[in-house]
Structure 1
Amino acid sequence: MKVYNTTKGASMPKDDLNPYGVGVMRLREMSISIENFSESDIAHIGYCSIHRIKVVLCRVGNCWGIRGRMNDQIKLHERQFGCRGQVKAYWIVSGKKIMSLHRHFNGTTEELMSAYNCRITDKPVSEMSAMEIFMAAKGKRPCRRHAPKMTSNERIASAARMEKL
């Protein structure tokens, strides 16, 4: 399990220290909208944060939930798409600590674009095959196994080039 970012939450006044208020504060620190959770889920997050119990926040499709309490979200996903959705963990809340399980970019637009810009610029697009263009968009180079076979004319031409060197 890779943990990319750990932040420690802020303290709050004693009179605001109820489970719902703490749950809202933890969701705000993670930049997750409170509309994605029911009031009981938010209160559960706050209760676990107050008592330092570990809580894992997950997603199924576009639905957020708490691991172990996601039956409604899984059933909603099954009704919408006709298949069982994959539950993917995103955050771990343990007391004031919030650990991110996925990389988030909080930098500039250039950093964000360079992270997702995976093009191969060795050749112009006019000289690339369809598979090379597909792999360039995907961010990978074609492996040797999928490379086109050399014809005898190409072997002779490459041998002649090698002799010149």
Structure 2
Amino acid sequence: MDLKFHMDLYTRILKEHYENITYKKSRGRINITYGPVGYLCTPKNEDELRYAICDILEIVSKLHREEVVHRDIRWDNVVKLTNGKWLLIDFEEAARIGDERDTLIISAPEYENGTDTCQASGDIWMIGKLMNEVKFTLSEKAKNFRDKLMIKDFNLRLTATNALKDDWIEEMRCG
């Protein structure tokens, strides 16, 4: 990942989500420090999960509109901010849609051959996988939503934009 690509992610595409960004390149690595401050955790109940998934989808939809995929969406790369918002972090594996990368262990089923031609549908599958990793039972509506994100045929998966319009997410906005 080059510095220019990372700077574009944080300063243009996702500028309203990240503050006080500093970049330092040393020994072939890019060290990025940014705010706001948050902490690693997983949602404790379905309402909290809905807020987390919505916040993640909002960031991912912006990335996808810019033809960028995150490629490493898991709870270790999501922080809960002190204001209650959830933030996707760690863009080390991010790439342009269509780029070829080595397949990550957590990748969607369509990437079984060892090479990943980066697609938005892979990020969507990983968001569905987040919902499998919570320690409480999902409601039927939540399970149905998750299943739409994890459809085996990646051409039939929801997009991030369409997922934000799903009834399960909309309940949060109306309730």
Fold-level similarity (TM above 0.5): no
TM-score where L is the length of structure 2? 0.22
TM-score where L is the length of structure 1? 0.23
